[in-house]
Structure 1
């Protein structure tokens, strides 16, 4: 990770860690970098945060000042930017979003012409320019100054792409959608309505400050209740930029990314569409998923946490599906990044083709209890490398033996150390998670009240 760019872009509190000057300079550099031999075309999308509008204008100003044309998708999803970039001859794309973070945070994700997250070497050049270590970049003048273009049609083409992926009509299916007051509010209902579903939508009234607030994929409780109370067949919850999906079955049970990978991976395996008979997971996936995959005759690989690493593994090894427990699921033949709405459609495909309820499809997987505690810290690296913290982690590893595991890792997007224990019971998980968390707090690494 660089000084500004983490595993999922440049992210932080708006006008505190990430400000309009940063955004302007990102635009200036990208317009210059991609416009050396031709007039650069760069597409911008944003989520519903109040600060997203501010950053959109700052980025557009930087791009056009360097001579690039900036195409504005307006409020849209991260996967839609990825789709438009790779299918419509753009030099790169920019998504303004802090994903599942609270509204006062924001982020800048840069996507290359193939729809992948931008390479670390280009991100390093952007950082060098921001810090004044790159040199001067010329301003475009006269007819070389760039322009901004309203490009809402790009989002509409993406919606058409999603609709075209469906294998059957959703007629008579009662589907709940939790749009997290974010990007999905502008896309999801249109897709499901076009496919004939009877849609029940909650949290699709963004006001700039309510994105992810007690809703969406990170606050699934309301959708669980809503699905059961309204007798729905299934519910889908997205995060702020709709690159994640968590489902809820007809009984109100959470179907997280691990279960989604099992359901879709097993179906693809049965259809002969699972490349290398392999599903790509991260180290955070549940032990129960691996047991179920073993029983189904499906192999798996593990990567570091981050859909970026999942996708890199998929490309390098030719695998067709991978994802994270958090709901980033990548279908390699259709997308180059996690896509929450596409994931919903693929789940519906399995339900319809197998004529099965979601609860039935998930039944073979027995999920082991996990407890994940996010500790907000002053310095992630110092906290993780503290000798006493490491000793506490080792003690838990020895106590759990072959009956569970502990994982301590830095967040790639927040000043947070994540402590996760997986074991046979919730009580064991809680005991050993807090055995480590208490040491972190006692050594002064944690920020009280956060």
Structure 2
């Protein structure tokens, strides 16, 4: 067990207390987006900001725990900037009086699990998830392993912006590297798999590891369970993480599945908190299909209260209507796994997630976990005794859906897009024309400098027409 009385042992620990009085150049808009703080390294994110985030995170976390010896668990992905940011953030935590356990390269859900399974005050992951190598981010977890609540994020940001006064600090903390803890997370993933359905013998699987946090873990997990594993992009590479690979670029995975006659393939993103699948024909299987198939399995086992699935506004109408036809209920939230998780807690829902591959199943974990999801989807296929292709073909037909991203570098204009009257007028025209035949969603990304335009309809002509019209309006009135 990780939960134990923790006493400071000064042996093999390095005091990395650092003072930082750097002036920060902060945007007018909020630092925290839908998945922590994220931005271009050297622009928004640098050592000075990371130190401040660490210090004020320490201040806030100390107010949430009665145990002043509780450490903070810090993990990171493979980006070139991750070690620098993790070190600076750890310095801030130490300066705030907290000990740091730095576990090194690890998936984001690994940090969440280890935080919840220990007596940690909280956890921090340094990663920009699916973003390109030049970006990075900071995700913060409470002691229960859940993403830190919005009020606590606001308290951290208030301190960073000089709107709060530090509380008294009773000495400095200490820093220690604990990479061995990652294996405890790996072992936890195997526990829920039954002896029968957790045997992948005879299954050939292709894994696209995106040069990221899953490289040292996913292949051994599948091999330990008997699968034949073929790997793509299977070493940590900060220059190439997510570049034309992983869950946002499935082309190479599709080719590898076909060339190797694999039963299925999985593509992770840089921090492995999401996963998408590919069937034996090379067809993508997104989060909507994963939720539908896993939901059916849980419902049959009477483990899905009220037949409820929590998803987001991005969930395809075809998925929603097929699930409702079976007597299921679907609740949509804003985009972001923290919103899905909050709604699951509020409603008692046990399964939720996003089309992009963030899947949360509270029977087995507390965070979106790509490795856990991939293992359970493979087990589901083994249990069904048919191919993933057959399962998908028997599920539902998606409505034609297009998603376009329009890059908007100006952060203030991007976050205030709803105040653009010409764009709002175009959106209203599109919604009136679509009626109940489809949906329109325009939103500012909380993780990338883009405005996302999504249109879906039963008629592909409508989908293409209004997608192009809305994208043009964003380019003309917001991005220009």
> Deviations 1:399-420 (Å, cap 9, x if unpaired)?
2222212111121222321111
User: What is aligned with 2:113?
Assistant: 83
Mapped partners of 1:2, 1:80: distance in 2: 30
Mapped partners of 1:31, 1:298: distance in 2: 42
User: What is aligned with 1:416?
Assistant: 450
Mapped partners of 1:45, 1:314: distance in 2: 26
> Deviations 1:287-317 (Å, cap 9, x if unpaired)?
1101221232222111111111111111111
The residue matched to 1:204 in structure 2 has which SS?
A: coil
Instruction: Give structure 2 stretches of 5+ with no counterpart.
Output: 1-27
Alignment of structure 1 residues 346-385 onto 2, 5 Å: 346-363=376-393, 364-377=395-408, 378=410, 379-385=413-419
Aligned residue among 170, 181, 184 for 1:157: 184
> Deviations 1:259-292 (Å, cap 9, x if unpaired)?
0001100111112111221111111100110122
The residue matched to 1:284 in structure 2 has which SS?
A: coil
RMSD value, Cα: 1.6
Aligned residue among 305, 311, 324 for 1:281: 311
Mapped partners of 2:405, 2:385: distance in 1: 39
> Deviations 1:325-371 (Å, cap 9, x if unpaired)?
00000001211211001001111121111111101111121011111
Q: How big is the shift at 1:178? A: 0.5
User: What is aligned with 1:319?
Assistant: 349
Does 2:372 match 1:342?
Answer: yes
User: What is aligned with 1:446?
Assistant: 479
- Conserved? CA contact 1:40–1:67, under 8 Å: no
Q: How big is the shift at 1:138? A: 5.5
The residue matched to 1:251 in structure 2 has which SS?
A: coil
Aligned residue among 207, 221, 241 for 2:271: 241
> Deviations 1:147-189 (Å, cap 9, x if unpaired)?
2122112210000011222222111110111111111112211
The residue matched to 1:291 in structure 2 has which SS?
A: helix
Does 2:337 match 1:307?
Answer: yes
Structure 1's consecutive aligned runs of 4 or more residues displaced over 3 angstroms after TM superposition are 32-37, 136-140
Mapped partners of 1:86, 1:288: distance in 2: 36
Mapped partners of 1:34, 1:261: distance in 2: 33
Mapped partners of 1:306, 1:31: distance in 2: 24
- Conserved? CA contact 1:55–1:96, under 8 Å: yes
- Conserved? CA contact 2:107–2:214, under 8 Å: yes
User: What is aligned with 1:268?
Assistant: 298
The residue matched to 1:24 in structure 2 has which SS?
A: helix
Q: How big is the shift at 1:136? A: 4.3
Alignment of structure 1 residues 28-427 onto 2, 5 Å: 28-35=55-62, 38-136=68-166, 144-167=171-194, 168-363=198-393, 364-377=395-408, 378=410, 379-427=413-461
Mapped partners of 2:416, 2:226: distance in 1: 53
Q: How big is the shift at 1:85? A: 0.4
Aligned residue among 463, 466, 479 for 1:429: 463
The residue matched to 2:140 in structure 1 has which SS?
A: strand
Aligned residue among 21, 42, 45 for 2:48: 21
TM-score when normalising by structure 1: 0.95
More deviation, 428-437/77-86:
428-437
Mapped partners of 1:409, 1:90: distance in 2: 35
> Deviations 1:87-138 (Å, cap 9, x if unpaired)?
1110000000000111111000000011110011221121122122212466
- Conserved? CA contact 2:417–2:444, under 8 Å: no
Q: How big is the shift at 1:139? A: 6.1
Q: How big is the shift at 1:206? A: 2.5
- Conserved? CA contact 1:280–1:300, under 8 Å: yes
Mapped partners of 2:287, 2:61: distance in 1: 36
TM-score when normalising by structure 2: 0.89
- Conserved? CA contact 1:323–1:338, under 8 Å: yes
Instruction: Give structure 1 stretches of 5+ with no counterpart.
Output: none
Mapped partners of 1:95, 1:436: distance in 2: 35
The residue matched to 1:169 in structure 2 has which SS?
A: coil
- Conserved? CA contact 1:163–1:194, under 8 Å: no
